[in-house]
Amino acid sequence: MDNLDRIFHSLADGTRRAIIAQLASGPARVGDLAQHHDMALPSFLKHMRVLESSDIIVSRKVGRVRMCELRPNALVVAQNWLERERRIWEDRLDRLDFLVETLAKKETPDGTE
Amino acid sequence: MDNLDRIFHSLADGTRRAIIAQLASGPARVGDLAQHHDMALPSFLKHMRVLESSDIIVSRKVGRVRMCELRPNALVVAQNWLERERRIWEDRLDRLDFLVETLAKKETPDGTE
DNA sequence: ATCAAGGTTATCCATATGGCTAACTAATCA
DNA sequence: TGATTAGTTAGCCATATGGATAACCTTGAT
């Protein structure tokens, strides 16, 4: 699977977006994160693994506890893709506007608008 | 399904991102879009329907041809979500930096750094 | 040495996804 | 009126996803 595939797929789920939001305010333990989600721990851990596989979060084990942290770089990659496409679209609209304007001036070359 | 779920899910596939990229340069017919993708037309149409269901594209039929157009607003919604989370994360880091700086000054109150 | 806490692994299940082919409809063209 | 073009619908299939439970393994506390 493509890298962007994994990133966007991670984001396409409310539970995972909530985890990201939780981690945006600072690192946390798996258990603390899980408390806010109404599902069995193994199900929750699957979401964590999805987020890790797309490098949106990292985690390391400290004793029997696992600490998790956001790595916003993956989010930036996603933003960049969106920004690029949006810009192509908008530049095109700008050129269209310019074209329309130019044509309008040609139709009224005396400048009476 | 949530709205953001649908948008991000749409983006989580290379074929669909390619369609978005194609449409960023301007509206196009289904057939023209499909030509660049190595899959059967019905499979391709499924991707189009996914994109439409998340309001990333719109289409209307003109005669026997279907014209498709990008609607970048959905992309902006996605960008906004990403931007918000990233900002929360970065504001937090800034506050941490400030804290560290403040503590450092307290340790060297004579200003010798 | 035992027991509890905090995850983790292994399965299992229903539904969704992404691909296919075959058969169909509706608009143009000759 | 036919034949062709451009989609569309209806099914089929393999794999992925998101949920569950039960059993297990470490680590920390007593």
Q: What is the pLDDT of residues B23-77, one digit of tens each?
A: 999 999 999 999 999 999 999 999 999 999 999 999 999 999 999 999 999 999 9
B81 belongs to a structural domain = no
Query: Dihedrals φ, ψ of A13, to 5°?
Result: -150, 130
- Residue A2 reports pLDDT greater than 80: yes
Span B66-108, pLDDT tens digits: 999 999 999 999 999 999 999 999 999 878 776 776 666 556 5
Q: In this structure, is the CB of residue A61 within 7 Å of any atom belonging to strand C?
A: yes
> What does the DSSP assignment read for A54-81?
TTSEEEEEETTEEEEEE-THHHHHHHHH
Whether residue B31 is contained in a domain is answered as yes
- Average pLDDT of A1-18? 97
Residue B63 within any structural domain of the chain: yes
Using the Cβ of B30 and the Cβ atoms of chain A, whether some distance falls under 8 Å is answered with no
Residue B93 lies in a domain: no
**Res A88 pLDDT > 80:** yes
In a domain, A103, yes or no: no
pLDDT digits (tens, 9 = 90+) for A30-42: 999 999 999 999 9
Protein residue at shortest CA distance from C1' of D8: B42
Q: B12 in a domain, yes or no?
A: yes
Would you say residue A48 has pLDDT above 60? yes
Q: What is the mean pLDDT of residues A5-23?
A: 98
Site from B22, B75, B89, B90 to mutate, A interface, most A CB atoms within 10 angstroms: B89
Name the residue range of residue B55's domain.
3-72
CB contact under 8 A, B85 and A92: no
pLDDT reported for residue B110:
53
- C-beta of residue B23 within 8 angstroms of C-beta of residue B41: no
Q: Is residue A84 part of a domain?
A: no
Question: Which residues have a Cβ under 8 Å from the Cβ of B60 and sit 6 or more positions away?
Answer: B66, B67
Q: Is residue B14 part of a domain?
A: yes
* CATH number of the domain residue B42 falls in: 1.10.10.10
Overall domain count for chain B: 1
| C1’ D5 / CA B66, Å | 13
Segment A48-67 shows an average pLDDT of 98
